[in-house]
């Protein structure tokens, strides 16, 4: 397992690199599609490769609940179980503790939680988190962390940050496999001094990589960018930097500009299933009437299978009829859009033109406004709570 920075932008912190893992090489900066339950929804591993994916993510929390860690172990590990032969990351489950806070209780010992599937009670510790990820066999595994809401006050965030740092030590002490890289997760909310303390504590432990957690949770974008800018300055130059939960095009540019190497988010696939499609002008809602007789691709110049073969009018028709093909075609488009964007970023970093490429793209791109983004996130959290209530 190794990481090498191959080129840095002289005008920003943007950099290109190569992350080498037991299951393959990953050029950075890179976007990681999320396969929470051992699948990137609606797509096969072969399709992911064709879209340009080099590494994907699975979630320990969800896989622990079903099918169960022991089932995946019996069937040869996560790579074999899901038919993905490239590099894998597994998330620790810390974010799920945050997003399902009404079902969990946190202490220094670990997290007592109820399953969002059937309400059964479970207890997860940092040691178990690492043990489960070692069994799953991902190339990159994450330390167990506590992810507080950004609205929490200084004292509450400080308590969560200090607990995350203590858990990180326990995770590192329990790690046994040498063919996996364990990343520490920097917490501290939107408080710069807490971010500094967390980063200093984790870097003193010598993790193989460092993630920035607890961001893009509803705080204004300028706050997110400021925290990333500040935190990156506390992290080693020779280790990968991973910004968790970020996947919109404009945010990817801002993260890369600040020296981030790895991103992951469910955003491209989730909005695809709801009819939201990325274009070079901004996000388009394919259900809108304007696309009913649009005889052309949703995004001119896109090289994805969807845009090369189908009109926006056809996609509009599929979504209106709630045909299953609509989810696949929209997901193919959004993931290819993001993958191609990262490929172009890498190329422009290498040839020294990244700042002008960023300016050119963002000049013509209209991001979704903050109010709409916040409303969409709140609606999704409300939906999750409703789904649990229906099952319990």
Give the chain's end-to-end CA distance (angstroms, integer).
43
Residues annotated as part of the active site: 91, 264
pLDDT of 81 over the 90 cut = yes
- Eight-class DSSP state of 18: E
φ, ψ of residue 88 in degrees (nearest 5): -135, 145
The ranges of the chain annotated as CATH 3.20.20.105 are 2-265
Helix (H) or strand (E) holding 62: helix 60-65
Percentage of residues in the chain having pLDDT higher than 70 = 93
Q: CA 31, CA 48: separation in Å to the nearest integer?
A: 12
What average pLDDT does range 245-253 have in this prediction?
Answer: 97
Q: CA 63, CA 60: separation in Å to the nearest integer?
A: 5
Q: Whole-prediction pTM value?
A: 0.94
pLDDT of 380 over the 60 cut = no
Which residues in the chain belong to E strands, given as ranges?
2-8, 15-21, 24-28, 30-33, 56-59, 88-91, 104-106, 111-114, 121-124, 140-142, 181-186, 209-212, 241-244, 262-265, 276-279, 282-285
The neighbour count for residue 32, using CB atoms within 10 Å, is: 22
pLDDT of 172 over the 50 cut = yes
Which of 46, 105, 37 lies closest to 71, judged by CA?
Answer: 37
Contact 103, 120 (CB under 8 A): no
pLDDT of 387 over the 60 cut = no
140-142 and 181-186 strand pairing:
parallel
Q: CA 223, CA 219: separation in Å to the nearest integer?
A: 7
Helix, strand, coil shares of the chain as percentages rounded to 5?
A: 45, 20, 35
pLDDT of 388 over the 60 cut = no
Which own/partner pairs from 120-129 qualify as long-range (CB within 8 Å, at least 24 positions apart)?
122/64, 122/65, 124/61, 124/64, 124/93, 125/170, 126/167, 126/168, 126/170, 126/171, 126/174, 127/170, 127/171, 127/174, 129/60, 129/92, 129/93, 129/171
3-class DSSP state of 93: coil
Best CATH choice for the domain 2-265 from the list 3.20.20.105, 3.90.950.10, 3.40.710.10, 3.40.50.300 = 3.20.20.105
Q: For the chain, give the mean pLDDT.
A: 93
What average pLDDT does range 348-355 have in this prediction?
Answer: 98
- pLDDT of 9-47, one tens digit each? 999 999 999 999 999 999 999 999 999 999 999 999 999
- pLDDT of 264-292, one tens digit each? 999 999 999 999 999 999 999 999 999 99
Contact 307, 296 (CB under 8 A): no
What average pLDDT does range 66-88 have in this prediction?
Answer: 98
pLDDT of 76 over the 70 cut = yes
Which of 373, 388, 190, 357 lies closest to 280, judged by CA?
Answer: 357
Q: CA 91, CA 36: separation in Å to the nearest integer?
A: 9
* Residue 95 pLDDT: 76
* Residue 378 pLDDT: 55
Which of 213, 331, 353, 198 lies closest to 276, judged by CA?
Answer: 331
Would you place residue 96 in the very low, low, confident or very high pLDDT band (cuts 50, 70, 90)? confident
What average pLDDT does range 119-124 have in this prediction?
Answer: 91
Which of 237, 249, 278 lies closest to 345, judged by CA?
Answer: 249
3-class DSSP state of 358: helix
* Residue 117 pLDDT: 87
Percentage of residues in the chain having pLDDT higher than 90 = 87
Q: CA 107, CA 26: separation in Å to the nearest integer?
A: 37
Contact 202, 227 (CB under 8 A): no
φ, ψ of residue 11 in degrees (nearest 5): -105, -15
* Residue 386 pLDDT: 46
């Amino acid at each position: 397992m190794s990481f090498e920075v191959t080129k840095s932008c002289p005008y920003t912190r943007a950099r290109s690199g190569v992350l080498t893992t037991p299951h393959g090489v990953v050029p950075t900066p890179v976007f990681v599609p999320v396969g929470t339950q051992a699948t990137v929804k609606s797509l096969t591993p072969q399709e992911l490769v064709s879209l340009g994916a080099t590494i994907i993510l699975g979630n320990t929390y969800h896989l622990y609940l079903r099918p169960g860690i022991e089932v995946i172990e019996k069937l040869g590990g996560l790579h074999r179980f899901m038919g993905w032969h490239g590099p894998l990351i597994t998330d620790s489950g810390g974010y799920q503790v945050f997003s399902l806070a009404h079902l969990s209780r946190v202490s220094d010992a670990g997290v007592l939680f109820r399953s969002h599937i059937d309400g059964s009670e479970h207890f997860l510790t940092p040691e178990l988190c690492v043990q489960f990820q070692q069994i799953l066999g991902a190339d990159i595994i994450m330390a167990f962390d506590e992810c507080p809401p950004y609205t929490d006050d200084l004292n509450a965030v400080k308590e969560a940050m200090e607990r995350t740092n203590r858990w990180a030590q326990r995770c590192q002490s329990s790690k046994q496999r040498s063919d996996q890289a364990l990343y520490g997760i920097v917490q501290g909310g939107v408080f710069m001094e807490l971010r500094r303390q967390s980063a200093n504590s984790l870097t003193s432990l010598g993790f193989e990589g460092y993630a920035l957690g607890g961001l893009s949770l509803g705080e204004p974008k300028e706050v997110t960018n400021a925290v990333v800018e500040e935190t990156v300055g506390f992290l080693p130059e020779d280790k990968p930097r991973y910004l968790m939960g970020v996947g919109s095009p404009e945010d990817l540019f801002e993260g890369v500009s600040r020296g981030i190497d790895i991103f992951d988010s469910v955003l491209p696939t989730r909005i695809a299933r709801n009819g939201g499609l990325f274009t070079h002008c901004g996000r388009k809602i394919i259900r809108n009437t304007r696309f009913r007789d649009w005889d052309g691709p949703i995004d001119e110049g896109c090289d994805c299978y969807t845009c090369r073969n189908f009109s926006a009018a056809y996609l509009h028709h599929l979504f209106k009829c709630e045909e299953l093909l609509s989810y696949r075609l929209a997901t193919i488009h959004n993931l290819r859009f993001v993958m191609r964007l990262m490929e172009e970023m890498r190329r422009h970093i290498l040839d020294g033109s990244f700042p002008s490429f960023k300016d050119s793209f963002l000049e013509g791109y209209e991001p979704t406004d903050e109010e709409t983004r916040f409303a969409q996130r709140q609606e999704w959290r409300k939906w999750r709570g409703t789904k649990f209530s229906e099952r319990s």
